[in-house]
Structure 1
Amino acid sequence: MSTVQVSFPISSTPSLTQKSAPVQAPAAPAAGPAHSALPWANGLLAAAAWLGLAALTALWPNKEIGFSDWAYTQEFAVSCAVIAGVLLVIAFAGERLGAFFQRLKPAGPWLVAGAVLLAIWQVLTAKTGVLPPPFFAPPQSLFEVFIDDASRLGLSTAHSLRLLASGIGIGALVGFVTGVWVGWSRLAGYWVHPLLRFLGPVPASALLPLAFFFAPSSYSAAVFLIALATFFPVAVLTWSGVANVNKSYYDVARTLGASNWFLVLRVAIPAALPQVFVGLFMGLGAAFSVLITAEMMGVKAGLGWYLQWAQGWAAYANMYGALLVMAVLCSGLITLLFTLRDRVLVWQKGTVKW
């Protein structure tokens, strides 16, 4: 009698030792409009700080030290209150403001610190007189400068901008051409490079007497000094960039039949542009220092002249206002140069450090 064996597939019966798959928890729901509508914490803190500055300015009487009262005190307090209101609106609007909020958000701690620093400045000058006038003036004195002396300060700023643009433009152009020439030509590298290393480190302001003696006018002397201060860093950094271009780039271009002009214009200069912009940044700082020195010595208009005039009349509030304009002007030009660099070198963004 035969027996029939019945076998079952192993996969059809679950093993006692087989572990069951873990049950995944449901994903958390995405943040909805209610989350984006939450108030911005730094914005609320900044609004409170600016509101406190407004209350301190308006409610704490100014100490009389040689002055009956500081002008524009109430106007300064109202302005601080307006800033606090704007920050409060931004804090509650949040993400609904889009790109504007994303740009302003990193500045939250600085908005708080700015109000705190202004409050300390206010207390030490107008409220307690720890820093005595006229050498130290409270923040509302800048309102008086920018309102009552706006025409003279604006004209001085325009003159400085024209002088700065002329000097930097000439110095950057000549320095760029010289740097490319020295970096490409062995003959220029032999004769011009030692002169750059010997005469370049001499401060442009040290040549101030010679410039005003040989130049036909004080304006042209100032342009020459600013151009000289810009020329040296641009020339040296451009020369360094051209001289350090990878030689394989030239070999590949020559293999494809490139001429010397093509190698200079399409290989050497583009590869050296990051170094060129570093030279421009350095030249801009040097040009600003020479600008103020030149305007103080002989130019009849400009921010340097305005600073000298304010010091002569002991108008220190006007001097602080001019220094603030200079800081904003220099920062704006640097930001503009950064923007230009990002646009020109966008094709090198993956190969150079930004």
Structure 2
Amino acid sequence: MHEHAITGDRASILAGRSRHLPERHPIVAWAALAWAAAGAVTVSWPNIKDIALTTHVGVGEGLVGVLLLLGFLLGPLLRGVNRWLGHNGPWFVALPVLLSVWQVASAKTGYWPMPFFPPPQGLLHAYVTDYPRLLESVKASLVLLGLGLAFGATAGFLTGLATGWTRRVSYWTSPLLRFVGPVPTTALIPLVLFLFPSSFSAGIFLVALATWFPVTILTWSGVAGVDKAYYDVARTLGADQRFLLLRVTVPASLPHVFVGLFMGLGHAIAVLVVAEMIGVKAGLGYYIDWARGWTAYGHLYAGLLVMALLFSALTTLLFRVRDRILIWQKGVVQW
């Protein structure tokens, strides 16, 4: 009798646990089927011409389908994975459909003429055969962008802070900002390449200039918009000018500063790519221009994909830093 009671308690506990397990998301099973179908299309449908790595792409698509099937079956035991798969399930269905359309239109039927529209295996071939050059291009772009952003953001923050804090500085900087700031940075490329001793230093200056203007304007706006009551309270408590600047003005203006950094990063990326194509002769922009010149469109699209992923990751990183520093505004701006 006692053993039956224990068995009943265990059964009730297991039943309670099963009731608390999250349900499977049917969209994940459909995604697994879509990836398996995409792999079958890639492997079984013959290409109009011999294209390397076609089987590898098909097998890779099939493996993604297997992983999604495992996620569907084991998802309730892994709550975080189950939640992530359920949220991104529609994308996991859409991606293999788009890949299959791309595959059929280019490699299988030739409706999209090659080499201008290479199939997915054309991009994979570019990564496999040309990854050293791509890695060097990524490194060159990151160095140029990092140095330009560092100089431009620092100069922009200090300029905006001084402009908003001191009328004497504002007297001189305001006309300069209104006159020089709206000029597109890319329009200055011929002049800058002539004035600077090397294309690398010219590229750093152009990226810094593209970052400097939005950071300066938004920092200036943030400093000018600080509530005067903050200063009155701080002065009542005995704060001096240095304390007001560092402990009141700077923290209160940081939301505007980060908006300026986001805008500056976007401008800097655009200027970086143009500068690499025209004069710097290094980086992802130069790689894309080189691929276009040699009609290596598989390499061109591979470079574009790397560029999109890299710059999206940098923007996401900036948002993470913003959310960490401005914890009270976390989630206000989404990316």
TM-score by length of structure 2 reads 0.92
The amino acid of 2:177's aligned partner reads: L
- Partner residue in 1 for 2:130: 149
The 1:33/1:70 distance shift into structure 2, 3 A limit, reads: same
Residues 182-191 or 238-247, more deviating: 182-191
Task: Map residues 319-334 of structure 1 onto 2, 5 A cutoff.
Answer: 319-334=300-315
The amino acid of 2:78's aligned partner reads: L
The amino acid of 1:302's aligned partner reads: G
- Partner residue in 1 for 2:249: 268
May I ask how many residue pairs the two structures share in their alignment? Answer: 320
Aligned-residue CA RMSD (Å): 1.7
How many angstroms apart in 2 are the aligned matches of 1:56 and 1:31?
44
Pair 1:283-2:264 in alignment: yes
Contact residue 303 and residue 322 of structure 1 kept, 8 A: yes
- Partner residue in 1 for 2:69: 88
Contact residue 36 and residue 62 of structure 2 kept, 8 A: yes
- Partner residue in 1 for 2:11: none
How many angstroms apart in 2 are the aligned matches of 1:230 and 1:260?
29
Gaps of 5+ in 2: 1-14
Pair 1:48-2:29 in alignment: no
Contact residue 40 and residue 92 of structure 1 kept, 8 A: no
Contact residue 50 and residue 80 of structure 1 kept, 8 A: yes
Contact residue 37 and residue 92 of structure 1 kept, 8 A: no
How many angstroms apart in 1 are the aligned matches of 2:59 and 2:20?
33
- Partner residue in 2 for 1:232: 213
SS for the counterpart of 1:298 is helix
SS for the counterpart of 1:321 is helix
How many angstroms apart in 2 are the aligned matches of 1:234 and 1:95?
46
1:100 deviates by 3.7
How many angstroms apart in 2 are the aligned matches of 1:279 and 1:58?
49
TM-score by length of structure 1 reads 0.87
Pair 1:219-2:188 in alignment: no
Contact residue 311 and residue 319 of structure 1 kept, 8 A: yes
1:349 deviates by 4.7
Q: 1:301 aligns with which of 269, 274, 282?
A: 282
1:104 deviates by 3.9
Contact residue 71 and residue 85 of structure 2 kept, 8 A: no
The amino acid of 1:177's aligned partner reads: L
1:70 deviates by 1.2
How many angstroms apart in 2 are the aligned matches of 1:185 and 1:194?
15
How many angstroms apart in 2 are the aligned matches of 1:301 and 1:132?
30
The amino acid of 1:55's aligned partner reads: A
SS for the counterpart of 1:149 is helix
How many angstroms apart in 2 are the aligned matches of 1:202 and 1:334?
24
Task: Map residues 109-124 of structure 1 onto 2, 5 A cutoff.
Answer: 109-124=90-105
How many angstroms apart in 2 are the aligned matches of 1:106 and 1:211?
48
Contact residue 37 and residue 93 of structure 1 kept, 8 A: no
Contact residue 51 and residue 80 of structure 1 kept, 8 A: yes
How many angstroms apart in 2 are the aligned matches of 1:353 and 1:148?
40
How many angstroms apart in 2 are the aligned matches of 1:44 and 1:295?
44
Pair 1:70-2:51 in alignment: yes
1:160 deviates by 0.5
- Partner residue in 2 for 1:197: 178
Contact residue 145 and residue 204 of structure 2 kept, 8 A: yes
1:192 deviates by 0.7
How many angstroms apart in 2 are the aligned matches of 1:240 and 1:104?
42
Q: 2:146 aligns with which of 159, 165, 176?
A: 165
1:99 deviates by 2.8
The amino acid of 2:46's aligned partner reads: P
Q: What are the superposed Cα offsets for residues 145-185 of structure 1, whole Å, 9 maximum, x if unpaired?
A: 11111111111111111111011111011001111111111
Contact residue 274 and residue 345 of structure 1 kept, 8 A: yes
